[in-house]
Structure 1
Amino acid sequence: MAPARDPGGGSPEVTGAQKGRTSVISLKNSRIVLSGNGVRAGRRDGYRLTSPCWYEPGPTPEEMLKQQSDSATHFNRIKAGEESFLRFLEQFKDKIGKEGRWWTPAYNEDDPRGISCWTGLEMFIFVPPDTTPPQGITIRELTDIARAALTVPEPKVRLNPDAKSFVNLPTWVWLDGVGETRRTATATLPGVMSATVVATLKSIDIDPGTSGDRAKVAEDCGPAGKPYVKGGTYSCGVSYLRASLDQPREVYQLTVTTVWPVEVANPGVDVQYQPVRVGVTRDVPVGEVQSSVRDDGTTG
């Protein structure tokens, strides 16, 4: 079935972030609003919704009848047969004056399963107050959508020395221009419910790109490493114990990963998410310290 299927009245498309590496979630036929500094362009970690489609509470009986009676929206249906169109409207007229809302399906367009899941749902179902239908969205699922929309900045890694290091020389590691270390993503169904997740930069992990007999990592880094200070105390980085000449491309591949634990801001939502982990890799050429023998027999 074509994705153009619409229960009527027009349904907004909400995009959580950009395409490509920053693509997180695209909500189709959904009323959910995504907000927060964590839904701006950033790096995702591949979090995936359990179900890529769901029902959302939508129009009142009166609103739904008005939408479905709109001749412009349903021109093709009316053209096919006015009598059948009037019969089609009876199901909406029957609900006028009754408590409840029509629920309509939505889906995550970025999920390959999204369209097939969505087309397996009814175009609309009438639901009494204080009732959630099967596959109807819950606060837990809304929280999952906020989590899927969450991004964090791509780390910019600084090293000292930067261009080339040497055996046994400490290479300082830190993040440059971290910006906001607290990122939030909120998913809101207007007038119904809202869910917020918060990611906070806690630490960085350093992988020197080789085994422990060739490199020693200093891990007292805090949340963003320790910038180089002349005469300062080295506590975060890596000291390579052997040169990189025997490595592919004659460099070590140093990977620095930022770790952002995620918390749910809503009380009563019993879910624990894995931290967002985003890494970046730098090439580090490491040479031997050269020494020369002077005429007096000393080295330098």
Structure 2
Amino acid sequence: MRTPPALAAVLTMLTALAVLGMSTPAAGFDDPGGPRGEGFQDGPTSGVILRNSKIVVSGDGLGGRADGYRVPRPCWYEPGDSADKMLEKQEDVREYWFHLNPTGTERDFDEFLKQYKDKVGENGRWWTPAYNAADPNGLACWSGLQGAVWVPEGGTPPGGITLAELYQLARAALTVPEPKINLSPDVKSYVNLPTWVWLTGIGAPARSVTAELPGVMSATVTARLTRLEIAPGTSGSRAEVKEDCGPTGRPYVSGGTFTCGVRYLHASVDQPRGAYTLTVTTEWTVTGQGVGFAFAPVRVTASRDVPVGEVQSIVRGGDRS
């Protein structure tokens, strides 16, 4: 007997729920289980939030503000259970199956199980879908995938996770710190006086994130702070910029050589708020551990106001000639 279309739709949905463990069961019924995974989440600034995934995301490059990098394809299949293990899981959800489908019969349930029984004894695995919930298209992408796909040993289904996509997930999760600008003089500078610039709050100049599918493959992405740029907030006729700064600038040293910062040539009295807006941009080079995996640099910007005054000269009567 052919399964009615409406019932078939319910069975298809239940297959996905049972395989993925996504639903919230009613009181008195056990969660049917299934693979779960979670990346990191730092309020609304997450780059990666994994759902129904076994991928583990770790590293000292997590937890900051994401820079907007998006994985091109926010859903995928991952290798899951063997035929025996998957059949065991599906048989364990019998009570749950009838709870969601009260008009179903034993024959309907046997038909539901048949797709799993047919694979017992074969070499291979069931692959199940996962997605990045931080991507606005992640859930819609996942909804278009099948609840489970049987793949013979050594194969990968269309849409199966690849090493390149694992690197992309690591890159999406990667964050770098926002710098704090330090100046000398700090509160106010003066015309023709060197204003030294350096950064604090960065910590280690390299940050890494690893995305790993345990027992299958892993991908590590590393960001290294390589340079900074200084924008004085005005034209070259009003300021001279020194950018021999290294990656984090040059802290002020008494008697030292001024190589990183700004020498303002005009006072800021005519500027909005009576100050120039100095901007510092850090650039982090991003590379993958594997050959051929490189990404565009991460650029992070910080700004602060710099009031600049005129040096006042006092001429005393005895000094006149």
The TM-score with structure 1 as length reference comes to 0.92
Secondary structure of the residue aligned to 1:117 is helix
Residue 135 in structure 1 maps to residue 159 in structure 2: yes
Residue 53 of structure 1 contacts residue 105 of structure 1 at CA under 8 Å; is this kept in 2? yes
Secondary structure of the residue aligned to 1:103 is strand
Residue 52 of structure 1 aligns with which residue?
Answer: 74
Residue 167 of structure 1 aligns with which residue?
Answer: 191
Q: Name the aligned partner's letter for residue 89 of structure 1.
A: L
2:55 corresponds, among 6, 27, 32, to 32
Secondary structure of the residue aligned to 2:295 is coil
**Post-superposition offset of 1:172:** 0.7
Residue 6 of structure 2 aligns with which residue?
Answer: none
Question: Structure 1, unaligned stretches of length 5 or more?
Answer: none
Residue 169 of structure 1 contacts residue 240 of structure 1 at CA under 8 Å; is this kept in 2? yes
- Structure 1 pair 292–111 and aligned structure 2 pair: CA distance change class (3 A): same
- Structure 1 pair 73–152 and aligned structure 2 pair: CA distance change class (3 A): farther
**Post-superposition offset of 1:202:** 1.0
> Which deviations, in whole Å up to 9, do the C-alpha atoms of 1:139-195 show, x marking residues without a partner?
000000011111111212211111111111111111124311111100000111000
Residue 237 in structure 1 maps to residue 266 in structure 2: no
1:276 corresponds, among 286, 298, 302, to 298
**Post-superposition offset of 1:36:** 1.1
> Which deviations, in whole Å up to 9, do the C-alpha atoms of 1:219-264 show, x marking residues without a partner?
0001111111111111111111111122221221111111110111
Separation (CA, whole Å) in 2 of partners of 1:298 and 1:32: 80
Matches within 5 A, 1:209-220: 209-220=233-244
Residue 66 in structure 1 maps to residue 92 in structure 2: no
Secondary structure of the residue aligned to 2:166 is helix
**Post-superposition offset of 1:97:** 1.1
**Greater alpha carbon shift after TM alignment, 238-247 vs 189-198:** 238-247
Structure 1 moving runs of 4+ over 4 Å: none
Residue 286 of structure 1 aligns with which residue?
Answer: 308
**Post-superposition offset of 1:68:** 1.7
The TM-score with structure 2 as length reference comes to 0.86
**Post-superposition offset of 1:23:** 1.8
- Structure 1 pair 80–284 and aligned structure 2 pair: CA distance change class (3 A): farther
Answer 1 or 2: which has greater helix percent: 2
Secondary structure of the residue aligned to 1:146 is helix
**Post-superposition offset of 1:80:** 4.1
Question: Structure 2, unaligned stretches of length 5 or more?
Answer: 1-12, 21-32
Residue 99 of structure 2 aligns with which residue?
Answer: 76
1:113 corresponds, among 137, 154, 164, to 137
Residue 89 of structure 1 aligns with which residue?
Answer: 113
Query: How many pairs were matched up?
Result: 294
Separation (CA, whole Å) in 2 of partners of 1:204 and 1:17: 28
**Greater alpha carbon shift after TM alignment, 289-298 vs 201-210:** 289-298
Residue 7 of structure 2 aligns with which residue?
Answer: none
Separation (CA, whole Å) in 1 of partners of 2:234 and 2:263: 11
- Structure 1 pair 167–73 and aligned structure 2 pair: CA distance change class (3 A): farther
Residue 43 of structure 1 contacts residue 278 of structure 1 at CA under 8 Å; is this kept in 2? no
Residue 190 of structure 1 aligns with which residue?
Answer: 214
**Post-superposition offset of 1:297:** 5.1
Tell me which structure has the larger Cα radius of gyration.
2
RMSD: 2.1
2:227 corresponds, among 203, 212, 218, to 203
Separation (CA, whole Å) in 2 of partners of 1:80 and 1:217: 77
